[in-house]
């Protein structure tokens, strides 16, 4: 797929990876429909990209509600059918499950799973009629490797990965491709505070948003089905699929360290 002159609907553009991805896609010549909850950040981003000659439209949306997803689909289709849809909006929850508010878990599922499902459903008839396009779902390495203190977050990313995989098979032969991207820990505001302190304490590999964005854009242009970040992380994913008990053992020391740090690193659910 050529990004030059293509029309891209990008959700979560006001967040770290989404913000970097908007810049990357614009630099490769794409026309952007950027969406997010933070209208001030979207306005700043759009002004920056337009100053560089990019064609940008702003479509504010709160994807934590079903109505928000429907409204975004209607707005995106009002000017034509996007060539590429990138589901980058997401929420994150860190901490012991019994310490996470019930409403935060509901909101996490709505944002990470239900919203991209509903938005995709609303866009599919037009994409099918067009006979081409690509859907990109930005998940997480935790969508294949469940991690302690991220139970709800991991569950939503497991679900998103399954959705993308099933949809890829469902759309086979339609001209619509599906790409699932699984970044590892990325230095964004979503991971500020407790997750950042845990990542530092456990010496997790960390990526910059711009590097993640470049790999996502490369994956689109190469029609990749899946992209997993990090050699060690990919090995753990394969081990987890075949020998989960080995991963249990491998994470035991890290889990204990997180339990020791947990009182000082308690975090609240957040969205981007």
Burial zone of 197 (CB within 10 Å; 0-12 exposed, 13-18 middle, 19+ buried): middle
Residue 180, strand partner residues: 137, 226
> Quick count: other Cβ atoms within 10 Å of Cβ 195?
23
Which among 176, 192, 172 is positioned nearest to 133, based on CA atoms? Answer: 176
Find where tokens 């505070």 sit. 193
CB atoms within 10 A of CB 50: 13
Among 153, 180, 185, 228, the active-site one is 153
Whether 153 is catalytic: yes
Q: Which residue, among 229, 210, 272, has the nearest Cα to 25 in the 3D structure?
A: 210
Alpha-helical runs (H) found in 111-172: 115-130, 151-170
- Taking the C-alpha atoms of residue 107 and residue 112, their distance in angstroms, rounded to an integer, is 8
Distance (Å, rounded) from C-alpha 148 to C-alpha 158?
Answer: 14
The Cα-based distances of 33 to 28, 73, 89, 202 in angstroms read: 15, 11, 14, 38
Q: What are the catalytic residues?
A: 153
């Amino acid at each position: 797929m050529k990004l030059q002159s293509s029309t891209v609907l990008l959700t979560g553009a006001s967040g770290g990876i989404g913000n970097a991805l908007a810049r990357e896609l614009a630099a490769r010549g794409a026309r952007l429909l950027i969406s997010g909850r933070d209208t001030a950040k979207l306005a700043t981003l759009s002004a920056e990209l337009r100053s560089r000659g990019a064609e940008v439209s702003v479509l504010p949306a709160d994807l934590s509600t079903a109505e928000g997803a429907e409204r975004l689909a209607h707005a995106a289709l009002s000017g034509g059918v996007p060539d590429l849809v990138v589901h980058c909006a997401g929420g994150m929850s860190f901490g012991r499950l019994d310490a996470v508010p019930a409403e935060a878990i509901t909101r996490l599922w709505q944002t990470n799973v239900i919203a991209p499902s509903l938005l995709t459903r609303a866009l599919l008839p037009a994409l099918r009629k067009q006979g081409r396009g690509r859907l990109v779902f930005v998940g997480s390495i935790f969508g294949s490797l469940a991690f302690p203190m991220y139970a709800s977050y991991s569950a939503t990313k497991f679900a998103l990965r399954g959705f993308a995989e099933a949809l890829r098979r469902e759309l086979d032969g339609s001209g619509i491709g599906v790409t699932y991207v699984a970044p590892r820990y990325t230095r964004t505001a979503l991971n500020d505070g407790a997750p950042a302190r845990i990542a530092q304490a456990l010496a997790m590999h960390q990526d910059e948003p711009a590097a993640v964005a470049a790999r996502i854009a490369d994956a689109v242009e190469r029609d990749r089905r899946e992209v997993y970040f990090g050699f060690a992380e990919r090995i753990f994913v394969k081990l987890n699929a075949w020998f989960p008990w080995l991963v249990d053992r491998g994470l035991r020391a890290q889990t204990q360290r997180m339990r020791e740090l947990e009182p000082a690193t308690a975090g609240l659910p957040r969205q981007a």
